[in-house]
Amino acid sequence: MSKSSAIAHSNIALIKYWGRSDQADSSLNLPSNDSISMTKLGLSDIKLETHTTIEFSDKYSEDSAELESEGLSGRKLERILRVVDPLRKKAGINLKFKMVSKNDFPTQAGLASSAAGFAALAIAASSALKLKLSKEQISTYARLGSGSAARSIHGGFVRWHKGNTHETSYADQICGPNDFQMNAVIAVVSEEQKKITSDVGHESAKTSPFNEARISVSHNQVKDIIKAIKDNNFARVGKIAEASCKYMHAVMMTSEPSLFYWQPATIRVIHAVQKMRAEGLESYFTIDAGPNVHCFCRPEERDEVQKVLEKIEGVKKTIPVKPAEDSFVTKKHLF
């Protein structure tokens, strides 16, 4: 019998991952390009974290998983098993498990709950199974549940290498949370679960005529943004991140079926960010697969940016964030 718990944070992509590589088995979740992200720590009562406990024991006759007090089955349980089964096999253990997970922020609302969730699961399961894995190795297993979860294993600013095999598609840290001075304010315009999840949306990316162009451009964007991060060039990072966001949503909107995640308030926030910049308050936007907007800013201007966003019609709440530390094992269990 072995039980372990972990806490992981969500991340926001600066260089986007959208669409799986067609050069490998789709179950491996290998991306078509490298991606760059910032792992996030919420600075309000919302920490943007997932807390997961998993126990392997002969007292369980079947695998079970629970998220926010809801038992998981079907596709949702299958995604859990994509992570746990390979780890169980590596450990040489075939005990059944019980998993309980809780988020302190909305699930499947474009705030990267799956990234935090599968990162926490991979960390907790590898710990419970007594596997001595590096963070890079753990990231390959987190990726099997949700591609972007690979990035949430690490804190700070992270690169997910696309690779071409399970072992070579991993995430590592570009720099720690205090090495590049950038924060963000999230403008939350909807907390509803999206009708089409990212997991499903990735499958339609290749139907867009703009997908190959997005992939091609992203290769140079990755190199450029890493240099900008290391040079502490906030303006350059912001401009590249905005461009990557627009390319990804252009692909979404022109896929079959089309994915339109934006809402009227999303557009209002984008216009507000552009207006702030024009008036000397430097901010840049990015949007994941959802309607909510992340507005990047320097730490010393975060409060001012937040005040502007709070006044926008349709913004339900704002969440200030800074780069988080690495995700970690905790002794606090959920059962």
- Write the class of the CATH domain 2-330: alpha beta
Strand-strand pairing, 183-188 and 317-323: antiparallel
Cα distances (angstroms) measured from residue 240 to each of 47, 226, 243: 26, 10, 5
Residue 292 has pLDDT above 70, yes or no: yes
Confidence of residue 273 (pLDDT cuts 50, 70, 90): very high
What pLDDT score does 109 carry?
A: 59
What pLDDT score does 110 carry?
A: 61
- Nearest CA to 112 out of 248, 215, 233, 9 is that of 9
**For residue 205, is it left (φ>0), alpha (ψ between -120 and 50) or beta?**
alpha
What pLDDT score does 288 carry?
A: 93
Could you report the per-residue pLDDT of 1-12, keeping only the tens digit for each? 799 999 999 999
What pLDDT score does 112 carry?
A: 66
Could you report the per-residue pLDDT of 93-135, keeping only the tens digit for each? 999 999 999 999 876 656 668 999 999 999 999 999 999 999 9
What pLDDT score does 83 carry?
A: 98
Strand-strand pairing, 49-57 and 64-67: unpaired
Could you report the per-residue pLDDT of 36-72, keeping only the tens digit for each? 999 999 999 999 999 999 999 999 999 999 999 999 9
Lowest mean pLDDT among 127-141, 192-206, 213-227, 274-288: 192-206
Could you report the per-residue pLDDT of 147-168, keeping only the tens digit for each? 999 999 999 999 999 999 999 9
Residue 187 has pLDDT above 80, yes or no: yes
Q: What predicted TM-score, i.e. pTM, was given to this entire model?
A: 0.95
What token pair was written down for 299?
A: 């730490």
What pLDDT score does 245 carry?
A: 98
> Cα–Cα distance between 267 and 291 in angstroms, integer?
9
What pLDDT score does 275 carry?
A: 98
Type of residue numbered 216? S
Cα distances (angstroms) measured from residue 143 to each of 161, 171, 242, 317: 11, 9, 25, 30
Q: Which helix (H) or strand (E) holds 99?
A: strand 96-103
- The mean pLDDT of 250-275, rounded to a whole number, is 96
Helices 234-253, 211-230: crossing angle, 10 deg rounding = 160
Domains of the chain by residue range:
2-330
Confidence of residue 25 (pLDDT cuts 50, 70, 90): confident
What pLDDT score does 26 carry?
A: 83
Confidence of residue 198 (pLDDT cuts 50, 70, 90): confident
What pLDDT score does 22 carry?
A: 83
Average pLDDT, the chain: 95
Measured over the CA atoms of residue 73, residue 50, residue 125 and residue 3, the dihedral's sign is negative
Whether residue 157 contacts residue 175, with contact meaning beta carbons closer than 8 Å, is answered with yes
What pLDDT score does 214 carry?
A: 97
Confidence of residue 170 (pLDDT cuts 50, 70, 90): very high
End-to-end Cα spacing for the chain: 14
- The mean pLDDT of 202-228, rounded to a whole number, is 96
